[in-house]
Structure 1
Amino acid sequence: MVSALLKSAVVVALAAAMAGCGGSEQVESFGGPTMGSTYSVKYVQRRGTPAREALQRETEAILADLDRQLSTYRADSDIERFNALPAGSCVPMPATVRELVAAGERLSVESEGALDLTVGPLLDLWGFGPHGHGERVPDAEAIAEARQRVGYRHLRIDGEQLCKDAPVQVDFNSIAAGHAVDRVAARFEALGVDSYLVEITGELKAKGHKPDGTPWRIAIEAPHDDERVAQRIIALDGYAVTTAGDYRNFFEQDGKRYSHTVDPQSGAPVAHRLASVTVVDPSALRADGLDTVLMVLGDERGLAFAERQGIAAFLVIHEGQGFVTKSTTAFDRLFGAGEKQ
Structure 2
Amino acid sequence: MTSRMFGPARVALASVLWALVLAVLAGCSFQPEENVWEISGPVFGTRYHISVVMAGDQARLEAIASGIEQALEQVDASMSTWRDDSELSRLNRRDDQSNWTSVSDPLYEVLSKALEVSRLTGGAFDVTIGPVVNLWGFGPQAQPETAPPDDLLARVLAGTGFEKLELRKQPPAVRASSPQYIDLSAIAKGYGVDVVARYLDSEGVGAYLVEIGGEVRVRGRKPGGDAWRLAIEQPVSGDRQVNRVVALEAGAMATSGDYRNYYESEGQRYSHTINPETGRPITHNLASVTVIADDCMTADALATGFNVMGYERAQALAIRDNIPAYFIIRTDDGFETHQTPAFSSYVTQ
Is the structural similarity TM-score above 0.5?
Answer: yes
Matched, 1:221 2:230: no
* Pairs within 5 Å for 1:296-311: 296-311=308-323
Match among 17, 35, 52 for residue 44 of structure 2: 35
Q: 1:20 to 1:92 in 2, by over 3 A?
A: farther
Q: Give the Cα separation in 2 of the matches to 1:50 and 1:238.
A: 27
Name the CA distance, whole Å, in 1 between partners of 2:251 and 2:305. 19
CA deviation digits over 1:224-274, x for unaligned, max 9?
112211111111110211111101211222322221110111111111000
Instruction: Name the counterpart of 1:113.
Output: 123
Supply the AA of the counterpart residue of 2:346: F
Normalization by structure 2: what TM-score? 0.90
Instruction: Read off the aligned partner of 2:118 and give its amino acid letter.
Output: S
C-alpha distance in structure 2 between counterparts of 1:260 and 1:67, whole Å: 21
What amino acid is the match of 1:61? Q
Deviations along 1:84-103, whole A, 9 cap, x unmatched? 01133432211111111111
Distance 2:76 2:285 in 1: 34
Distance 1:20 1:62, change over 3 A: farther
Q: Which residue of 2 aligns with 1:335?
A: 346
Q: Corresponding residue for 1:176?
A: 188
Q: Look up the equivalent residue of 1:335 and give its one-letter code.
A: Y
In structure 1, distance between residues paired with 2:145 and 2:222:
44
Deviation at 1:20, TM superposition (A): 5.3
What is the RMSD computed on CA atoms of the aligned residues? 2.1
Mapped to 1, the partners of 2:331 and 2:302 lie a distance apart of: 23
Cα separation, partners in 2 of 1:79 and 1:153, compared to 1, 3 Å: same
Q: For the residues of structure 2 that align with 1:157 and 1:289, how far apart are their CA atoms?
A: 18
Report the counterpart of residue 22 of structure 1 in structure 2: 31
> How far apart are residue 49 of structure 1 and its match?
11
Distance 1:172 1:329, change over 3 A: same
- 1:138 maps to what in 2? 148
1: CA distance, partners of 2:56 / 2:130 = 47
Are 1:97 and 2:112 matched, yes or no?
no
Q: Between Structure 1 and Structure 2, how many residues are aligned?
A: 331
Distance 1:248 1:20, change over 3 A: same
Q: Is the 8 A contact 1:222 1:231 kept in 2?
A: yes
Q: Secondary structure at the match of 2:281?
A: coil
Q: Which of 250, 254, 258 in structure 1 is aligned with 2:266?
A: 254
- Cα shift at 1:169: 0.9
Q: Distance in 1 between matches of 2:276 and 2:54?
A: 45
**1:286-320, Cα deviation, whole Å (9 max, x unpaired):** 00000001110011111112111211111110010
Q: Which has the higher contact order (CA 8 A, sep 6+)?
A: 1
> Gaps (5+ residues) in structure 2?
4-17
Partner deviation per Cα, 1:109-129 (whole Å, 9 max, x = no partner): 111100011110110011111
Could you tell me which residue of structure 2 aligns to residue 70 of structure 1? 79
Counterpart secondary structure, 1:14: coil
Unmatched runs of 5 consecutive residues or more in structure 1: 4-9
Say whether residues 1:122 and 2:132 are aligned partners: yes
Report deviation, 1:279: 0.7
Q: Which amino acid aligns with 1:43?
A: V
Tell me what 1:6 maps to: none
Aligned partner of residue 182 in structure 1, secondary structure: helix
**2:248–2:346: 8 Å Cα contact kept in structure 1?**
no
1:211 to 210, 216, 223: 223
> In structure 2, what is the equivalent of residue 52 of structure 1?
61
Contact 1:307–1:328 under 8 Å retained in 2: yes
Taking the aligned partners of 1:49 and 1:208, their CA distance within structure 2 comes to: 22
Q: Indicate conservation of the 8 Å contact 1:2/1:172, yes or no.
A: no
Correspondence 1:255-294 to 2 at 5 A? 255-294=267-306
> What is the distance in 1 between the residues matched to 2:232 and 2:293?
15
Instruction: Specify the SS of the correspondent of 1:52.
Output: helix
Distance 1:135-1:190 versus aligned 2 partners, 3 A rule: same
Paired with 1:228 and 1:202, the residues of 2 have a C-alpha distance of: 12
**Equivalent residue runs for 1:155-170 within 5 Å:** 155-158=165-168, 159-170=171-182
SS of the residue corresponding to residue 23 of structure 1 reads coil
